[in-house]
Structure 1
Amino acid sequence: MDEVKGYSKPSHGLFRFMPDSWVPYAELMRLDRPSGFWAFYWHYLIGLGFAINIRPFSSDIDLKTLVLIAAHLGLWTTVFRGITCTWNDNLDQDFDRQVARCRVRPIPRGAVTTAQAHFFTAVQIAVGACILSPFGDSTLIHASVDGVLLFIYPFLKRCTNFPQVELGFGLSYAIFLVTSMIGKDPLAPLLDPSLDLSVRVSNVVKSPLAQSAACLYVAGIIWTVIFDTIYAHQDYLDDLKAGVKGLAVYNRLWI
């Protein structure tokens, strides 16, 4: 089913040693396009830089620990990107068949079925949970929130011209996940069961830490909106015909 016009099997890196049956799943994870990894990972590195500069400084965060956390986040990013891309490709398969750049993806070309893609998404979620489980429940909660935000994204391409804003909500949310990993979570008061919800919210809103995190969060959203709109512009003619909505289609020639 991989004999589709315009498709050629990746032959670089890990793909040189990978069984043919694994290739479509690796493509769903975008392992053949490592540059997109940074669109996710930079948010985690920025969050890590923010977290380690929060006072009081953590005496147990030395350079070695910092590098290990960054490496751990790199592994999580690889899996999390795979989760979101697999989910997105599955929901967008009818759109992708109408877009020249996307019609050779595994699901549109028939290399992976809808059911197989959903199962693969579930497997990746389980792997991702195992990766983050050493960092505690609060980190897993933040990962779940982040996942929900990015799972909503493909639905918005059907009903609004601003899905990139919601994509920014998801990608930039990395800052809260990272801060929770080292015990500096600005949203931690929201999880305090001993307080009323109104008190929890008030404590977060008044917190200088939460305020600074919110500023960084908004900056990450703006950054995501800009780069993803520019990236999507290459497909805007096909997207327009297919009925895909987004800022690239909305602005067309103004970009």
Structure 2
Amino acid sequence: MTGVAARVADATGNWVDTRAPSWSRPYLRLARFDRPIGGWLLLMPCWWSAALAAGVAGHLGQLPLTIVLFFVGAFVMRGAGCTWNDITDRDLDALVERTRSRPIPAGQVSVPQAVIFLVAQALIGLVVLLQFNRFAVITGIASLVVVAIYPFMKRITYWPQVALGLAFSWGALMGFAVLLGRIDAAALWLYAGSISWVIGYDTIYAHQDIEDDALIGVKSTALLFGARTRPALTAFYAMAAVLIGTALALAKAGALGWIALAIFAVHLAWQIVRLDISDAALCKRVFISNRDAGLLLFAGLLADAVMRAAG
């Protein structure tokens, strides 16, 4: 299948559709390289944790390579996770307007082909993971349990966003595991704060599909909260800021880290004010803006780590 009809409905006009070789496009779409926001959001807790751990360590020796490896690993494993999700959700995706053009329900990729592609991505992710110490390798492998069960949560609970938060926030533990060979209390608080952040932004994302989800019986916090989404977001985003702040305090972060957290919190507040859950296009834009929120926090934590190492 070629041309416009082969494109995924909510990802037109990207480099995959316009520049990638035709044979590779269905697989790149399966891995969501036509919509890289998921990779960025998976990456943010990894980078936060690495910067915070480097600040605790007081030196930056491993940090540059760790940042690069986390970048590669996050995007590859995001692709693997999406491939797994699309394999398990292929029947549901065929019933939803926004997702029926995905490669498997659209007939661009067969399930056996998707499984082979999944294994290939997982092997690349394993190669990245094996560059780290043994404790970090074990910590990374442990995340696969949460990743494996996530696609099934929306069938049984209105809180699948919690499972997504557990999976997408795992990187908050990995930075400490890689750079310090342990998981400090600060990492656990950072993990909890990231989970709250993920629940918030994925609730916004889920509002794009709320009507179709209600019709086919798929559950989400968007359906659960409904008209109460704004106060729910306020609670989760406020919790995220407080929990991440606790992590910064335990890690003895400096002024630059706290300034970055304040900017991060202001960005989250701006999202809540701007949001209109009846406008799917706006929900998508607000959701995507969380990459910028995450990068702002990372920039501050990185600058703080540099200052602490220099001191």
After superposition, residues 150-229 of structure 1 pair within 5 angstroms as: 150-186=147-183, 209=184, 211-229=185-203
Give structure 1 stretches of 5+ with no counterpart.
Answer: 187-208
Q: Against the structure 1 CA distance between its residues 11 and 21, is the aligned structure 2 distance closer, same or farther, given a 3 Å change threshold? A: farther
The partner residue of 1:105 within 102, 106, 118 is: 102
Give the Å deviation of 1:249: 1.8
Residue of structure 1 equivalent to 2:209 = 235
Residue of structure 2 equivalent to 1:48 = 50
8 Å Cα contact 1:163-1:247 kept in structure 2: yes
Q: Against the structure 1 CA distance between its residues 91 and 251, is the aligned structure 2 distance closer, same or farther, given a 3 Å change threshold? A: same
Residue of structure 1 equivalent to 2:87 = 90
Question: With structure 2 as the length reference, what TM-score do the two structures score?
Answer: 0.68
- The one-letter amino acid paired with 2:35 is R
Please give the secondary structure, in 2, of the residue aligned with 1:217.
Answer: helix
Q: Against the structure 1 CA distance between its residues 240 and 14, is the aligned structure 2 distance closer, same or farther, given a 3 Å change threshold? A: closer
Q: Looking at secondary structure, tell me which structure has more helix per residue.
A: 2
Cα deviation code 1:59-118 (max 9, x no counterpart): 4x24xx423321211111110100111101111111111111111111110111111112
Residue of structure 2 equivalent to 1:194 = none
Give the Å deviation of 1:15: 5.2
8 Å Cα contact 1:4-1:109 kept in structure 2: no
Please give the secondary structure, in 2, of the residue aligned with 1:50.
Answer: helix
Identity of aligned residues (%): 33
Give the length in aligned residue pairs. 227
In the aligned structure 2, how far is the partner of 1:181 from the partner of 1:14? Answer: 33
Q: Against the structure 1 CA distance between its residues 39 and 96, is the aligned structure 2 distance closer, same or farther, given a 3 Å change threshold? A: same
Question: With structure 1 as the length reference, what TM-score do the two structures score?
Answer: 0.82
- The one-letter amino acid paired with 2:40 is W
Please give the secondary structure, in 1, of the residue aligned with 2:130.
Answer: helix
8 Å Cα contact 1:2-1:109 kept in structure 2: no
In the aligned structure 1, how far is the partner of 2:173 from the partner of 2:40? Answer: 18
After superposition, residues 14-163 of structure 1 pair within 5 angstroms as: 16-54=18-56, 57=57, 59=59, 61-62=60-61, 65-163=62-160
In the aligned structure 2, how far is the partner of 1:229 from the partner of 1:215? Answer: 21
Give the Å deviation of 1:146: 1.5
In the aligned structure 2, how far is the partner of 1:126 from the partner of 1:145? Answer: 16
Give the Å deviation of 1:216: 1.3
In the aligned structure 2, how far is the partner of 1:251 from the partner of 1:181? Answer: 38
